[in-house]
Structure 1
């Protein structure tokens, strides 16, 4: 029974991850808030696995980095202006760490079986989101309604949050194309349709991230052009689908289309320059420990509850020293993936193809995070934790894997329970009020501008009434 329990918990976590963007469980909560609650549920399941000692190994070098980052974050939380919210943010990242630990352990223990489960889970979610789009599209066409492109993409509070998931998932859809799976044309079609959705949503950061991955891989990996060629072909095909569904069909039926991707092409930063200036000022004022996790959301500004830039977010909230340690840790992971991916073409198996696609996913996601809030959105946070644990299980050297000491394991269990209690308290404290506010429509009175941080109402400090009036309806894309 003990051996089956981790598999049962892992299966339950997969079901939750699958449901979150596909089923609107409680309409009185926004997609963002539902996904936040689902994220906490997944963290609970992972912590239970950890408590059952199903995670027994660690990468020693990475653990040292993580210990230093955690100590700095703990000190940063204690000196912040909103201590509880700082610990809530730290709890989220600790939960992501536990998820990554579980995925890494399962990959080391069960091998390619874990690869199949995660990859097919990702594909199932992509297929589900595409089916939801086509149902909405053909319903609008059949009723001769106006085609508002962003309204056709459901599952996220804002289509650009979908763009974050598209960025990390697009490279992984190329695994069958690189590994010479049978009937690859079906997987190419899926990848092309997902590119079609990415083009339609019009998230410029997604396009930039994928361009970086497509251009950089051939420069550093032998025959990396194969990945780039597959993605390039999918881009062209996806663009063809875009022309068919949003140009030819609407023109033939006399339908009006709004929100076209080309209408949103511009060089504007959409208010990000103001957010970046605030984040830099916060970094200068608190250079070592930062102002505290989530403390940017306490600033009175009408544009966003986060800087829309990963480096500035980390330096301003967690401190410059912590940011350097995180950068070194990520560089080590990417370097390990790179060193394991050099001979992928000779392997020609799923594992070799998966390494290069994970590497591309990290490159694209890091580029995306330079212009968006990838570190803030709950669904993106879950998947980034899954991919990091997956990559570590694939790429880490066997000689660096050590058994976790009993004292270390007990300490992690203790912190896991403490952080889960913090998240549970915030959920039970806030959710009834959010539901009541949604039902009563008291948006203007509470200055509810949807700038997601923990909840959709991203502010953790009430804005003055004058700023509430000027910021109504404003949001950084």
Structure 2
């Protein structure tokens, strides 16, 4: 047997799990689980297998400084988890982040496998196509059914909240644009046209659902790209044209048609200027950070103190300050800034192409959106973020093989990830709907997604 055969088998297994994860936002597999919980379960399955295979498949090479910072970050998080009020809940969050790191490193190991890299992007585009098709079908059904009621919140699928859909779109739209440009270059014009239609429909959905943070993330990412490398203007052109046509489609579907039929569509206020309560949860997060400056209250522990708005601060820096402490947040910020600047340096190069542009814009857009929304809380969003970061590392990392210290660190990290996330899958998932329903009845709270759809911890009254 060829030495590369086992690795190909492992990659095939991971590809199947990535596909399962992708389609967890397409159809509900069980009526007892919400979209959020279904996506979390598929995420945990993927991360468990990644941890098991971390020492068996190639990884992206991390510079020694980045490896030391990452190790320090995880050690601080582990210590914070052990000292938290609810250590098991904290370890769930810590293990999930550790699993996402391993997932990114494994995808980064696809440096010499362009077909595998492209397949991940095409899976993302297929999900975007299905969502666009479902949206148009739901719009048509509003008339065919005879209800004659246009409610944009009832026309999207795959997510329990329009904001969660927007978090996916901020990464999806640059990916669709890069694939469309690649198809155009290869004279696959019919496929490029289909991708363009999907992109236009996604923009129409974005206008209908009123995603201010989504628009901001896309705007910042695309303008920054033009400042870095104007030779990649075609990606910007694809997006600008799709934005304009998407707005015209939105006006047609939700303004002109309802006016012609004397209907009053239910739409979100696209130009609302309020923070929707974020100023309060941001203040509470900052107060928690000041009360626990060294190690934070513990990963996920913002959701251990009930408030009437949300189980997470909707701002990634404040979330980390409150839960992980100032030192860990500084390390995480340093790693993120290094990654963005590293990507910008590659995007500036003469040989940079639409792949570099699309990946960089998707990652930057998600990071911008994370300043006003829970990008690093929602399972579907954060997993796609790890996949795209992995693809970026596959393109931008050094060609040298993984060092012995990184291999040992990955092996050590994989053990608690498998144990903790495996425990969740075996002991929590089978009875999750009943446990959540019992909590909601006892405490009379609304759904507030964090780890699960019912995000407040502890889910029982015993400590």
TM-score, reference length from structure 2: 0.91
**1:2 counterpart SS class:** helix
Post-superposition shift, 1:105?
A: 0.5
Matches of 1:303 and 1:196, distance apart in 2: 29
Aligned pairs for 1:30-41 within 5 A: 30-41=34-45
Whole-Å separation in 2 of the counterparts to 1:162 and 1:119: 18
1:115 CA drift (Å): 2.7
Match of 2:322 in 1: 316
Deviation at 1:5, TM superposition (A): 1.6
- TM-superposed CA distance for 1:293, in Å, is 0.5
Q: Does 1:371 align with 2:372?
A: yes
Q: Distance in 1 between matches of 2:336 and 2:439?
A: 43
- 1:380 equivalent in structure 2: 381
Summarize the Cα distance change of 1:463–1:28 in structure 2 as closer, same or farther, 3 Å threshold.
closer
Paired residues for 1:392-471 under 5 Å: 392-398=393-399, 401-405=400-404, 408-436=406-434, 443-461=440-458
Does 175-184 or 7-16 show the bigger shift? Answer: 175-184
1:104 matches 2:108: yes
Where structure 1 has 5 or more consecutive residues not aligned to the other structure, the ranges are 465-477
Q: 1:120 to 1:177 in 2, by over 3 A?
A: closer
Which of 335, 340, 359 is residue 329 of structure 1 equivalent to? Answer: 335
Aligned to 1:210: 218
- The separation in 2 between residues aligned to 1:199 and 1:220, in whole angstroms, is 28
The residue number in structure 2 matching 1:353 is 354
Alpha-carbon distance in 1 for matches of 2:346, 2:413: 33
Please show how residues 47-58 of structure 1 align to structure 2 within 5 Å: 47-51=51-55, 53-55=56-58, 58=61
- 1:278 shift after superposition: 0.7
Contact 1:72 1:289 in 2 (8 A): yes
- Report deviation, 1:302: 0.8
The answer to whether the 8 A contact 1:209-1:363 is kept is yes
Aligned to 1:284: 290
Task: Give the structure 1 partner of residue 202 of structure 2.
Answer: 194
In 2, Cα distance between equivalents of 1:86 and 1:281? 19
Give 1:140's match in structure 2, choosing from 139, 142, 146.
142
TM-score, structure 1 as length reference: 0.89
Deviation at residue 22 of structure 1 after TM alignment: 0.5
Count of aligned pairs between the two proteins: 450
> C-alpha separation between the residues in 2 aligned to 1:244 and 1:421?
53
Matched, 1:304 2:302: no
Q: Deviations over 1:363-410 (max 9, x none)?
A: 211110000000100001110110111111111233xx34332x6535
SS in 2 for 1:3: helix
1:264 Cα deviation after fit: 4.4
State the alpha-carbon separation in 2 of the partners of residues 273 and 325 from structure 1.
25
Secondary structure (helix, strand or coil) at the match of 2:61 reads strand
Q: Is the 8 A contact 2:439 2:460 kept in 1?
A: no
Change (3 A) 1:56 1:274: closer
Q: Are the structure 2 counterparts of residues 463 and 149 from structure 1 closer, same or farther at C-alpha, using a change threshold of 3 Å?
A: farther
- Measured in 2, the distance between the counterparts of 1:166 and 1:104 equals 22
Q: Secondary structure at the match of 1:81?
A: coil
State the alpha-carbon separation in 1 of the partners of residues 446 and 75 from structure 2.
34
The 2-side partners of 1:417 and 1:71 are apart by 14
Number of the residue aligned with 1:124: 126
Distance 1:462 1:302, change over 3 A: farther
Where does 1:150-189 land on structure 2 (aligned, <5 Å)? 150-179=153-182, 180-181=184-185, 182=187, 183=189, 184-189=192-197
**Local SS of the residue matching 2:69:** helix
Indicate how the Cα distance of structure 1 residues 441 and 138 shifts in structure 2: closer, same or farther if over 3 A, else same: farther
| Aligned residues of 2:86 and 2:458 also touching (Cα < 8 A) | no
